[in-house]
Chain A
Amino acid sequence: MPDTIRVSVNGTPITVPAGAMVSAAVAVAGANGFRKSVTGQPRGPLCGMGICFECRVTINGRPHCRSCQIPCEAGMEVRTDA
């Protein structure tokens, strides 16, 4: 079982400890804004437990994924709102 996992965030390769959620990878990538609100404001995670929907990103092409609830898997492609 590897100690770290490599994913990509907005095209940049990011390494996180095994077991880390996608939210950690997005934070490590330096993107403080995970998504844009409906009026275009930058937003990041609030609740950490999957109920606020502020941490949503696109994972492997699937939009609206709550990154704080999804463990990183090798090769995942994560995209945040530009």
Chain B
Amino acid sequence: MGASYDVAIAGGGIVGAACALECAEAGLSVVVVEPGPIGGGATAAGMGHIVVMDDSPAQIALTQYSRQLWIDLKPRLPSDVEYLPCGTTWVAADDEEMAEVRRKKRVLDDIDVRAEVFDERQLYKTEPNLRKGLAGALYVRDDAVVYPPCAARYLLERAREKGATLRIGERVQELTPQGMTLHDKTVLSAGITVNATGAWAPELTPGIPVRKRKGHLVITERYPGFVNTALIELGYLKSAHSTTTDSVAFNAQPRRTGQVLIGSSRQFGVDGAGVDTHMLRRMLQRAQEYMPGIADLIAIRTWTGFRAATPDKLPLIGPVGEHSTLYLATGHEGLGITTSLATGRLVADHILRRTPPIPIEPYLPTRSHEEEHA
């Protein structure tokens, strides 16, 4: 039993959900196919951080715009999305990193993103459990954290209210110029097909420059007040930058429940989802270097996930070729939650030939992909 839609979306994670909602709100007929559970891929595995990232002008534009969409959405988010406007604290360990803090502050000032430079004293006032001897930090106050699976579900439910069809528990077998074929041989025809399957995107669209980048996380018992903001070491940027080596970087954030979420690690070329003892230990040792008290916190669970990484660290948003009906919405690496809403808007705008609030060109799959040298 096939059917016909304006837009067929493969993938019901946060990105697919955002695309579905934007397209449905624009009056397009939409179907989303997701093997389940909703948000069960990287959406569930990640930290749920909504953050302005200033790696490149294109990344700043996308993250800033998308963060604003989250802020606008906040009043309507149900409580199980657990939106927590805690802000991000970029921790500087030494003078060199403090210089980086000031550089970031200038960049953010230029684009009216509110940020404060903390000296050592202000840093400890905000985060008393950091180790002594740090230099300071940059505090970006309007960043936030959410619980992503419930956010993805909320977006899909609103899409359904606007007429979208959700086929949860089904799997896309093949994307075709006419739409998609599901595993049970059902054919869905669609004017536009969107591949929003994250780290698995190359399975449906071979040859696209998306690679799996494995990460580890740990969640603790409830320790309200142990960490108050999304804490990241500035070295995170070096870790996220490198496209070749395995790396860890200190990252700790509160959940609304009072649990502490600890990351982060990056590995390429690993397909197995098992917890890697060596990487986990490195990650936790790094965390203890910044917050020695973390050693005594009780960890309830550890898990892994696969980010979808691209060579230039920008996502792939838009048609695969200039006149193609196949769109990509993938490759978001560690910024999937943040940039999901903007991705949805860009996809809908492009389909409808509306002028997007930020240019889509830097994210088009047809851009040239150059490896950025770390």
A residues in contact (CB < 8 Å) with B: 38, 62-64
Contacts and interface: CB of A to CB of B under 8 A. Distances in A.
B221 interface: yes
Interface string B205-248: 00000000000000001110000000000000000000000000
B140 to A, nearest CB: 30
B223 A63 contact: yes
Nearest to B258: A38
B257 A38 contact: yes
A64 B223 CA distance: 10
Contacts of A62: 296
B295 to A, nearest CB: 13
Instruction: Give the interface SS of chain A, mostly helix, strand, loop or mixed.
Output: strand
A64 B221 contact: yes
8 contacts: A38-B222, A38-B257, A62-B296, A63-B221, A63-B223, A64-B221, A64-B222, A64-B298
Interface size class of B (residues with CB under 8 A): under 10
A38 to B, nearest CB: 7
Contacts of B221: 63-64
Contacts of A64: 221-222, 298
A64 B222 CA distance: 9
A63 B226 CA distance: 13
A62 B293 CA distance: 12
Contacts of B223: 63
Interface string B247-258: 000000000010
A63 B225 CA distance: 13
B294 to A, nearest CB: 14
A62 B223 CA distance: 11
B218 to A, nearest CB: 15
A63 B221 CA distance: 10
Contacts of B296: 62
Contacts of B298: 64
Interface string B278-309: 00000000000000000010100000000000
B82 to A, nearest CB: 13
A63 B297 CA distance: 9
Contacts of A38: 222, 257
A62 B296 CA distance: 9
Interface in B27-86: none
Given A62-B296, A63-B221, A64-B222, 5 more contacts: A38-B222, A38-B257, A63-B223, A64-B221, A64-B298
A64 B221 CA distance: 8
A18 B76 CA distance: 57
Q: What are the 6 A-B residue pairs with the smallest beta carbon separation, nearest first?
A: A64-B221, A64-B298, A38-B257, A63-B223, A62-B296, A63-B221
B63 to A, nearest CB: 32
Nearest to B257: A38
Contacts of B257: 38
B129 to A, nearest CB: 14
Nearest to A53: B221
Nearest to B297: A64
A64 B298 CA distance: 8
Nearest to A56: B221
A38 B221 CA distance: 12
A50 to B, nearest CB: 13
Nearest to B221: A64
A17 to B, nearest CB: 29
B143 to A, nearest CB: 26
Interface in B281-339: 296, 298
A76 to B, nearest CB: 18
A62 B221 CA distance: 12
B225 to A, nearest CB: 12
A66 to B, nearest CB: 11
Nearest to B220: A64
A28 B222 CA distance: 27
A3 B223 CA distance: 37
A62 B297 CA distance: 10
B300 to A, nearest CB: 10
